Structure 1
Amino acid sequence: MTGPLVRVEGLRVTVGDHPIVDAVDFTVAPGEVLALIGESGSGKTTIALTLLGYARSGAEISGGTIEVAGHRLDQLGEPALRKLRGRVMAYVAQSAAAAFNPSLRIMQQVIEPALIHGTATRPEAEAKARALFRALALPDPDHVGDRYPHQVSGGQLQRLMAAMALITDPALVIFDEPTTALDVTTQIEVLQAFKAVIRERGTTAVYVSHDLAVVAQIADHIVVLRGGKIQEQGATEAILSIPAHPYSQQLVAAAAPRQASTGLASTQTPGEPPLLEIRNVVAGYGGVDRNGDPRQTIVDDVSLSIRRGQFLGVIGESGCGKSTLARVIAGLHPAARGSLALDGNVLPRTIAERSREQLRRIQIVFQSADTALNPATTIAAAIGRPLTFFHGLKGAALDTEIARLLDIVRLPAGIASRRPGELSGGQKQRVNLGRALAARPDVILCDEVTSALDPVVAEAVLDLLLELRRELGLAVMFISHDIETVRAISDELMVLYSGQKVDHGTRAILLQPPHHPYARLLAASVPNLRVGWLDETCSGSRGAVRNAGGTAGCRFYPRCDLALPGLCDTTPPPRRVHGGREIACHRSIEDLVAAGD
Structure 2
Amino acid sequence: MENLVEVRDLKVEATTDSGRRVEIIRGVSLNIAPGEIVALIGESGSGKTTIALTLMGYARAGCRISGGNVRIAGKDMVTLSERDCAAIRGTEVAYVPQSAAAAFNPAKRIIDQVIEVTRIHGLMPADAARQKAVELFRALSLPNPENIGGRYPHQVSGGQLQRLSAAMALIGDPKLVIFDEPTTALDVTTQIEVLRAFKSVMKKGGISGVYVSHDLAVVAQIADRIVVLRNGEMQEMGTTADILTRAQHPYTRELLAAYEPKPRGDETVVEDSEVLLEVCCLSAGYGPIQADGLPLIRAVQEVSLTVEKGRNLGIIGESGCGKSTLARAIAGILPASSGTIIFEKRELAAAVRQRSRDQLRQMQIVFQYADTALNPEKSIQEILGRPLTFYHGMRGKQREARVGQLLDMVHLPKSLRHRRPQELSGGQKQRVNFARALAAEPKLIICDEVTSALDTVVAAAVIDLLKELQRELSLSYIFISHDLSVVEAICDEIVVMYGGRKVEQITPAQMKIPQHPYAKLLFSSVPKLDPGWLDALELDPELVRTYGQN
TM-score (norm 1): 0.88
Distance 1:416 1:542 in 2: 54
Distance 2:4 2:421 in 1: 39
Q: 2:343 corresponds to which letter in structure 1?
A: L
Match of 2:300 in 1: 299
Going from structure 1 to structure 2, the CA distance change for 1:264 and 1:444 (only over 3 Å counts) comes to: farther
Q: 2:497 corresponds to which letter in structure 1?
A: L
Whether 1:19 aligns to 2:18 is no
Secondary structure at the counterpart of residue 319 of structure 1: coil
Going from structure 1 to structure 2, the CA distance change for 1:168 and 1:512 (only over 3 Å counts) comes to: closer
Match of 2:527 in 1: 527
Distance 1:376 1:61 in 2: 33
* Cα distance per residue 1:386-423 (max 9 Å; x no partner): 12222222222222211211111111222222222222
* Cα distance per residue 1:462-521 (max 9 Å; x no partner): 11111111111111001111223312321111100111111113344x256352121121
Secondary structure at the counterpart of residue 453 of structure 1: coil
Equivalent runs, 1:151-162 vs 2, <5 Å: 151-162=155-166
Going from structure 1 to structure 2, the CA distance change for 1:544 and 1:345 (only over 3 Å counts) comes to: same
Equivalent runs, 1:365-384 vs 2, <5 Å: 365-384=366-385
Contact 1:541–1:559 (8 Å) recurs in 2: no
Match of 2:405 in 1: 404
Equivalent runs, 1:473-484 vs 2, <5 Å: 473-484=474-485
Contact 2:181–2:213 (8 Å) recurs in 1: yes
How far has the Cα of 1:558 moved from its partner? Answer: 5.5
Distance 1:500 1:406 in 2: 38
Contact 1:493–1:507 (8 Å) recurs in 2: yes
How far has the Cα of 1:77 moved from its partner? Answer: 2.7
Going from structure 1 to structure 2, the CA distance change for 1:462 and 1:541 (only over 3 Å counts) comes to: farther
Secondary structure at the counterpart of residue 200 of structure 2: helix
* Cα distance per residue 1:41-88 (max 9 Å; x no partner): 111111111112222222222111111222211112322222222222
TM-score (norm 2): 0.95
Contact 1:189–1:542 (8 Å) recurs in 2: no
Contact 2:11–2:66 (8 Å) recurs in 1: yes
Contact 2:495–2:504 (8 Å) recurs in 1: yes
Aligned with 1:82 (options 69, 86, 106):
86
Contact 1:263–1:489 (8 Å) recurs in 2: no
* Cα distance per residue 1:213-249 (max 9 Å; x no partner): 1111100111100111000111111111100000011
Match of 1:442 in 2: 443
How far has the Cα of 1:287 moved from its partner? Answer: 2.0
Distance 2:466 2:526 in 1: 22
Give ranges in structure 1 of 5+ residues lacking alignment.
546-556, 561-597
Match of 1:60 in 2: 64
Distance 2:228 2:359 in 1: 47
Equivalent runs, 1:96-135 vs 2, <5 Å: 96-135=100-139
Q: 2:466 corresponds to which letter in structure 1?
A: L
How far has the Cα of 1:265 moved from its partner? Answer: 4.6
Distance 1:236 1:400 in 2: 49
Q: % of aligned pairs identical?
A: 56
Secondary structure at the counterpart of residue 118 of structure 1: coil
User: Mean Cα displacement is larger for which, 371-380 or 294-303?
Assistant: 371-380
How far has the Cα of 1:542 moved from its partner? Answer: 7.5
Contact 1:261–1:489 (8 Å) recurs in 2: no
Whether 1:238 aligns to 2:237 is no
Cα RMSD after superposing both structures = 1.9
Contact 1:130–1:141 (8 Å) recurs in 2: yes
Match of 1:491 in 2: 492
Distance 1:20 1:36 in 2: 15
Q: 2:96 corresponds to which letter in structure 1?
A: V
Distance 1:154 1:392 in 2: 46
User: Mean Cα displacement is larger for which, 78-87 or 201-210?
Assistant: 78-87
Distance 1:540 1:25 in 2: 43
Contact 2:511–2:523 (8 Å) recurs in 1: no
Going from structure 1 to structure 2, the CA distance change for 1:512 and 1:184 (only over 3 Å counts) comes to: closer
Distance 1:511 1:525 in 2: 12
Secondary structure at the counterpart of residue 75 of structure 1: coil
Q: 1:388 corresponds to which letter in structure 2?
A: T
Distance 1:456 1:431 in 2: 18
Whether 1:251 aligns to 2:255 is yes
* Cα distance per residue 1:514-550 (max 9 Å; x no partner): 52121121111111101111000013437753xxxxx
User: Mean Cα displacement is larger for which, 166-175 or 393-402?
Assistant: 393-402
Distance 1:209 1:33 in 2: 13
* Cα distance per residue 1:141-168 (max 9 Å; x no partner): 1111111111111111111111111111
Aligned residues: 544
Give ranges in structure 2 of 5+ residues lacking alignment.
16-20
